[in-house]
C-alpha cells in the first residue's frame, strides 16, 4: 500500500535526494572505508575531506595518556564519510551548516572536560565543504580565528555516536524510530497510534467513529481527530461520562505519523482550550507561553519533527548530565520552542510564562526525523543509494541488487544532426573533435568562423560543450559540495583531458571554485580576518547611530 503523502510538505523530501547524490560521492565512501578498515584513520579522514588539527602526542602531553588512549580508540572507530553523511546542513543547496563546532566525544580530565569536535568553516570560506577535527577545552582554546570555537549546545553528536561510530551504527534503527516510520507500530510514547500502512475509513460528518487503541473502543466525532493519550496511558476527557469527546477539526482522518498528530492538534481558528486545572496534555502548548486566561493554543510545528522520540531522547540527555528528571528545551524551528517536563515515568510539555531559563537543549539530531527515513518512506530514494552502513542499519537484510551503474565510458562518441546526416563527435588525442569530417574541411570551417561565418553543426555542438555543456548543473553541484575530483572527471569525460576551456559558464564555475579554495586556505592559515567588512561585528555589539538596514532612496529637498 502506498504511503499517505497528501497535504504533506514535500520540501524536505525533494531537498535531500540531491544532497545524497552529490554531498558524499560513492568514490569517497569506498576510499575512506578501505583506509579505515586498514587501520589508517588519518588516511580515511583525508579521503573524506577532513583536516586534522590535533596530534595524539600533544593530547598525551596536555591531558594524560589515559585520555590519549580513549581519543585514539574513538579516532579508529570514526567513519569520517558517515559523519559527513549525517552532518547538519542548510537549505537550499544542502551545504554544511557554516561556522559550526560540533562535539563528537567528551572526555573528563583534571582541568575540565575535553571535547573532540568537528568544525566547519564560515560561509565566506566554506569552499570545498571541508571539515576539521580538533580538541577543545576551556584551558586551551586555539581556534581563535573560528567564528564559533566553542561546542554548540544544540548541534552535538556525543549522545548520538551511531551517526559517526562505525561500531555502533546498529543503534540507528532504534534511536531513529525507524520501526514507526517505515511500517512498524507507532509505539514509543504514543501507543494509541495505529500501525503504519493501515488507513482508517472515512464516515459521514456527524456520525460517531469507533477506534480501538489497546482493545478498548473509543468514540469521537467524524469531523475531528481522535482523543489524545498522554505518556501515562490515560485519555483526557472534557465531556461528561458517556459522552464522546468533541474535537473541532476539519474532517481529516487520523494520521499514522505522531509528528503530524502533534502539528494538527490545534488548527488555525480552532484553538484547543485548557482550563488550567491539573496537568496539561501535550497538545496544549504554544512555544512555552500560556495566555493570561490560562488557555493556550499550539502553533503548527514544522514537518519532520520526531515528536514520538522526544521523550526518550530527553531522558538520555538528562542522564548524560547525571539527572533522572528535569526540563528540556526543544528547538523545532527558527523561533519555536517547546519545554518538556521529564521524569522516569512520563514526559509532557509544560506552559512557561516569562523568559525561559537556561535549560538543556535537545540535540538537533533527536529533534527531527532522520532524512533517510523520510526518503525511504516516500519512495524518493532506494536503499542502494544510501550510505552502506546506513542502508544496513535501516533495511535489515538488505543486499545490493547488483553492481553499481557503470558511468558512460569517457570519450564515447555522441551523434549530432549535421547537414541532413547524423555525424559523430568524440575524443581524438585527448580533445573533443568531429569524427566524420576530414582535417581540411575542419580547417576551412574554422577559418570561416574566424571571419564571422556560421560553423558546421558539429563544430557548434563542440563549442557549446566547452561553454555550456548539458552536464553543467551536475558539475556545479559537485563543486558546491567540494567534489572537485568528481567534477573534473565529468568534464574530462566529456571534453577530454587535454581540452582548453573556452569562455563561458563552465569555465567561470571552475575558476570560481579555484578562487574559493584559495580563500579557504587563507582562512586555515589565519591570514584573513573574520570575514568581509559587512560581517565583522562591532566591539560592543551595538550598531552605530548612522547604520541603515537599507540605502536611503529619498531625494533631499
Grid cell at residue 556: 533631499
pLDDT tens digits for range 7-28: 444 455 567 999 999 999 999 9
- Average of pLDDT values for 421-433? 84
Residue 270, pLDDT score: 40
- In the chain, where the domains are located: 11-168, 177-192+252-369, 414-523
Report the C-alpha gap between 302 and 411 in whole angstroms: 47
pLDDT over 80 at 517, yes or no: yes
pLDDT over 60 at 449, yes or no: yes
The CA–CA distances, whole Å, from 469 to 139, 466, 492, 504, 514 equal: 53, 6, 12, 10, 19
Q: What angle do CA 463, 465, 466 make, to 5 degrees?
A: 65
Within 8 A by CB and 6+ apart from 290, the residues are: 274, 296, 351, 352, 353
User: Poorest-confidence range of 235-249, 312-326, 450-464?
Assistant: 235-249
pLDDT tens digits for range 380-401: 999 999 999 999 999 987 766 5
Task: Enumerate the β-bridge partners of residue 342.
Answer: 326, 347
- Cis bond leading into 85, ω under 30°? no
Range from 217-231, 376-390, 392-406 that averages highest in pLDDT: 376-390
- Average of pLDDT values for 108-136? 93
Grid cell at residue 331: 528547538
User: Number of helices (H) and strands (E), helices first, in the chain?
Assistant: 18, 14
Return the higher-pLDDT residue of 261 and 427: 427
Residues listed for the chain: 557
Residue 446, pLDDT score: 80
Mean pLDDT of the chain: 75
Residue 513, pLDDT score: 93
User: Poorest-confidence range of 73-87, 238-252, 308-322, 360-374?
Assistant: 238-252
- Average of pLDDT values for 165-171? 95
- Average of pLDDT values for 115-121? 96
Q: How sure is the predictor about 289, in pLDDT bands with cuts at 50, 70 and 90?
A: very low
Annotate 231-293 with three-state secondary structure.
Answer: CCCCECCCCCCCCCECCCCCCCCCCCCHHHHHHHCCECCECCCCCCCCCCCCCCCCCCCCCCC
Please report which helix (H) or strand (E) contains residue 80, including its range: helix 80-86
Range from 247-256, 270-279, 325-334, 384-393 that averages highest in pLDDT: 384-393
Return the higher-pLDDT residue of 266 and 67: 67
| CB atoms closer than 10 angstroms to residue 33 | 21
CA-wise closest residue to 171 among 418, 390, 413: 390
Report the C-alpha gap between 159 and 328 in whole angstroms: 15
131 touches 118 (CB < 8 A): yes
Return the higher-pLDDT residue of 143 and 8: 143
CB-count exposure of residue 71 (10 Å: 0-12, 13-18, 19+): buried
Task: Enumerate the β-bridge partners of residue 482.
Answer: none
Residue 249, pLDDT score: 38
Residue 337, pLDDT score: 85
CA-wise closest residue to 317 among 157, 424, 171, 499: 157
Q: How sure is the predictor about 265, in pLDDT bands with cuts at 50, 70 and 90?
A: very low
Q: How sure is the predictor about 143, in pLDDT bands with cuts at 50, 70 and 90?
A: low
- 131-136 and 50-52 strand pairing: parallel
Within 8 A by CB and 6+ apart from 457, the residues are: 416, 417, 418, 419, 423
pLDDT tens digits for range 458-515: 888 888 889 899 889 999 999 999 999 999 999 998 888 888 888 999 999 999 999 9
218 touches 235 (CB < 8 A): yes
Residue 12, pLDDT score: 55
pLDDT over 50 at 259, yes or no: no
Within 8 A by CB and 6+ apart from 46, the residues are: none
Residue 443, pLDDT score: 84
- Average of pLDDT values for 214-229? 39
Task: Enumerate the β-bridge partners of residue 132.
Answer: 51, 119
pLDDT tens digits for range 183-194: 543 333 333 333
- Average of pLDDT values for 269-293? 38
Grid cell at residue 463: 563549442
Return the higher-pLDDT residue of 522 and 253: 522
Report the C-alpha gap between 468 and 502 in whole angstroms: 10
Amino acid at each position: 500500500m502506498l504511503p499517505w503523502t497528501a497535504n504533506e510538505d514535500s520540501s524536505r523530501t525533494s531537498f535531500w535526494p540531491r544532497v545524497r547524490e552529490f554531498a558524499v560521492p560513492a568514490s569517497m565512501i569506498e576510499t575512506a572505508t578501505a583506509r579505515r578498515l586498514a587501520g589508517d584513520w588519518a588516511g580515511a579522514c583525508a579521503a573524506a575531506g577532513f583536516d586534522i588539527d590535533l596530534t595524539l602526542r600533544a593530547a598525551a602531553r596536555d591531558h594524560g595518556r589515559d585520555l590519549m588512549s580513549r581519543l585514539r580508540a574513538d579516532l579508529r572507530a570514526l567513519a569520517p564519510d558517515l559523519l559527513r553523511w549525517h552532518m547538519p546542513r542548510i537549505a537550499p543547496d544542502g551545504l554544511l551548516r557554516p561556522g559550526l563546532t560540533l562535539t563528537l566525544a567528551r572526555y573528563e580530565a583534571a582541568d575540565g572536560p575535553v571535547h573532540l569536535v568537528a568544525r566547519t568553516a564560515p560561509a565566506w570560506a566554506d569552499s570545498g565543504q571541508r571539515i576539521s577535527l580538533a580538541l577543545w577545552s576551556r584551558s586551551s582554546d586555539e581556534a581563535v580565528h573560528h567564528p564559533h570555537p566553542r561546542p554548540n549546545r544544540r548541534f552535538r553528536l556525543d549522545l548520538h555516536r551511531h551517526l559517526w561510530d562505525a561500531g555502533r551504527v546498529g543503534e540507528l534503527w532504534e534511536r531513529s524510530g525507524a520501526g514507526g516510520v517505515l511500517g512498524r507500530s507507532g509505539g514509543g510514547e504514543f501507543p494509541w497510534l495505529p500501525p503504519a500502512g493501515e488507513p482508517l475509513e472515512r464516515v459521514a460528518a456527524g456520525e460517531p467513529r469507533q477506534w480501538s487503541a489497546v482493545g478498548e473502543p473509543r468514540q469521537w466525532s467524524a469531523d475531528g481527530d481522535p482523543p489524545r493519550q498522554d505518556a501515562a496511558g490515560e485519555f483526557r476527557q472534557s465531556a461528561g461520562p458517556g459522552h464522546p469527546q468533541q474535537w473541532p477539526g476539519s474532517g481529516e482522518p487520523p494520521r499514522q505519523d505522531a509528528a503530524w498528530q502533534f502539528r494538527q492538534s490545534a488548527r488555525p481558528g480552532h484553538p484547543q482550550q485548557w482550563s488550567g486545572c491539573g496537568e496539561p496534555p501535550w497538545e496544549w502548548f504554544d512555544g512555552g507561553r500560556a495566555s493570561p486566561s490560562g488557555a493556550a493554543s499550539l502553533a503548527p510545528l514544522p514537518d519532520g519533527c520526531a515528536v514520538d522520540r522526544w521523550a526518550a531522547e530527553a531522558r538520555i540527555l538528562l542522564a548524560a548530565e547525571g539527572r533522572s528528571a528535569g526540563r528540556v528545551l526543544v528547538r523545532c524551528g527558527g523561533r519555536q520552542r517547546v519545554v518538556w517536563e521529564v521524569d522516569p515515568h512520563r514526559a509532557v510539555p509544560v506552559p512557561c510564562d516569562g523568559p525561559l531559563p537556561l535549560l538543556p537543549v535537545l540535540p538537533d539530531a533527536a529533534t527531527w526525523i532522520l532524512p533517510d527515513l523520510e526518503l525511504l518512506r516516500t519512495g524518493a530514494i532506494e536503499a542502494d543509494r544510501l550510505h552502506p552502513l546506513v542502508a544496513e542499519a535501516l533495511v535489515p537484510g538488505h543486499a545490493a541488487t547488483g553492481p553499481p551503474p557503470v558511468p558512460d565510458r569517457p570519450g564515447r562518441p555522441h551523434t549530432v544532426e549535421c547537414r541532413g546526416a547524423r555525424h559523430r563527435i568524440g575524443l581524438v588525442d585527448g580533445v573533443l573533435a568531429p569524427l566524420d569530417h576530414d582535417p581540411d574541411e575542419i580547417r576551412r570551417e574554422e577559418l570561416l568562423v574566424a571571419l564571422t561565418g556560421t560553423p558546421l553543426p558539429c563544430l557548434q555542438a563542440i563549442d557549446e560543450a566547452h561553454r555550456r555543456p548539458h552536464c553543467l548543473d551536475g558539475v556545479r553541484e559537485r563543486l558546491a559540495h567540494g567534489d572537485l575530483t568528481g567534477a573534473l572527471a565529468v568534464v574530462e569525460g566529456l571534453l577530454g583531458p587535454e581540452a582548453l576551456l573556452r569562455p563561458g559558464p563552465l569555465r567561470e564555475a571552475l575558476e570560481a571554485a579555484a578562487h574559493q579554495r584559495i580563500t579557504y586556505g587563507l582562512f586555515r592559515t589565519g591570514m584573513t580576518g573574520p570575514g568581509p567588512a559587512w560581517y565583522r561585528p562591532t566591539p560592543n555589539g551595538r550598531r552605530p547611530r548612522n547604520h541603515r538596514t537599507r540605502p536611503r532612496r529619498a531625494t533631499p529637498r
